[in-house]
């Protein structure tokens, strides 16, 4: 993967609030990418690839995309891949490349786990999300620069959206997108510390996390991560479950 750089963006919030979990996600990311170049864009200095510390600028969707832009501009490779601190990445994800260099490729083999949900399960929704993006470095830079120049706040309720999504609505250059399917699944953790959980969209009275519904496809086992209980154990060291002595099924 010498043609690829990983843009790892983080507010370092989990370093304080759940260091056990973020330690696991970073360890697994490094195992998956080997010696592939990493550019970490963080709010606090960190020893993770080539680090760009932007300072304590606050957690927001605007700053997520701005941090990704800083990482993309610093990359020296033809392609870049975005990576978040609360996602498990298999090595197969990073092998994906867009069919042509004018396409933004989004890996939609993305399953979610809601850490508060009972019974515990994985679920899937068909959606293109920024942490699954792999594309030409210059294409990402151009797309984000145009968006952030036109909408400096990049407010969640009005202007926010992944490159290639809502382009016509936002009045920016329409970029082509492609849905990829990595050989093994990414796993995104929805948890109470996540920005996507605590935000309250315009016109709503409750945070997104309190209203979030599981995806239409559900399951309890994913390769290579194992059962949803094993995945949950990566998030919460104290999480416990039992195995039925008769059938071997895992139960909470």
- Please tell me the predicted confidence (pLDDT) of residue 179: 97
- Indicate whether 86 pLDDT > 60: yes
What predicted TM-score, i.e. pTM, was given to this entire model? 0.91
- Please tell me the predicted confidence (pLDDT) of residue 212: 75
Mean of pLDDT values over 40-58: 97
Residue 201 — very low, low, confident or very high, per pLDDT cuts 50/70/90? low
Lowest mean pLDDT among 10-14, 60-64, 65-69, 105-109: 60-64
Mean pLDDT of the chain: 91
3-state SS, residue 81: strand
Mean of pLDDT values over 34-54: 98
- Indicate whether 198 pLDDT > 60: no
**Most distant CA pair in the chain, distance:** 61
Q: What is the C-alpha separation between 7 and 138, in angstroms, rounded?
A: 14
DSSP-derived secondary structure for 32-62: HHTT-EEEEEESS---SSEEEE--S----HH
- Please tell me the predicted confidence (pLDDT) of residue 217: 95
Mean of pLDDT values over 4-22: 97
pLDDT digits (tens, 9 = 90+) for 161-189: 899 998 998 899 999 999 999 999 999 99
- Please tell me the predicted confidence (pLDDT) of residue 88: 98
The runs of H, that is alpha helices, within the chain are 13-17, 19-33, 61-74, 137-150, 167-170, 195-198, 208-211, 228-235
- Please tell me the predicted confidence (pLDDT) of residue 252: 76
Residue 251 — very low, low, confident or very high, per pLDDT cuts 50/70/90? confident
Per the CB < 8 A criterion, the answer to whether 104 and 139 are in contact is yes
Q: Could you tell me the fold of the domain covering 4-251?
A: Spore Coat Polysaccharide Biosynthesis Protein SpsA; Chain A (3.90.550)
- Indicate whether 200 pLDDT > 60: no
- Please tell me the predicted confidence (pLDDT) of residue 157: 63
- The residues, ordered by sequence, that sit 6+ positions from 61 with a Cβ below 8 Å of its Cβ are 154, 155, 156, 160, 195
Question: Hey, where are the domains in the chain?
Answer: 4-251
């Amino acid at each position: 993967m010498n043609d690829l750089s990983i843009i790892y963006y983080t507010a370092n919030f989990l370093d304080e609030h759940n260091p056990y979990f973020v330690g696991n996600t970073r360890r697994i990311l490094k195992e998956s990418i080997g010696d592939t170049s990493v550019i970490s864009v963080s709010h606090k200095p960190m020893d993770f690839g080539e680090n760009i510390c932007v300072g304590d600028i606050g957690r927001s969707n605007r700053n997520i995309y701005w941090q990704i832009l800083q990482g993309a501009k610093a990359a020296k490779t033809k392609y870049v891949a975005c990576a978040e601190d609360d996602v498990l990445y298999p090595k197969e994800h990073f092998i994906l490349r867009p069919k042509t260099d004018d396409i933004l490729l989004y890996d939609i083999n993305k399953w979610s786990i809601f850490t508060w949900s009972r019974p515990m399960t994985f679920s899937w929704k068909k959606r293109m999300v920024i942490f699954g993006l792999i594309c030409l470095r210059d294409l990402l830079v151009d797309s984000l620069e145009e968006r952030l120049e036109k909408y400096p706040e990049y407010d969640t309720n009005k202007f926010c959206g992944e490159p290639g999504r809502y382009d016509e609505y936002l009045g920016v250059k329409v970029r082509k997108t492609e849905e990829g399917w990595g050989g093994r699944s990414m796993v995104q953790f929805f948890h109470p510390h996540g920005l996507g959980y605590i935000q309250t969209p315009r016109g709503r009275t409750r945070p997104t996390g309190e209203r979030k519904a599981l995806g239409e496809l559900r399951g309890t086992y994913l390769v290579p991560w194992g059962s949803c209980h094993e995945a949950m154990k990566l998030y919460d060291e104290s999480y416990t479950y039992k195995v039925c002595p008769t059938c071997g099924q895992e139960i909470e």
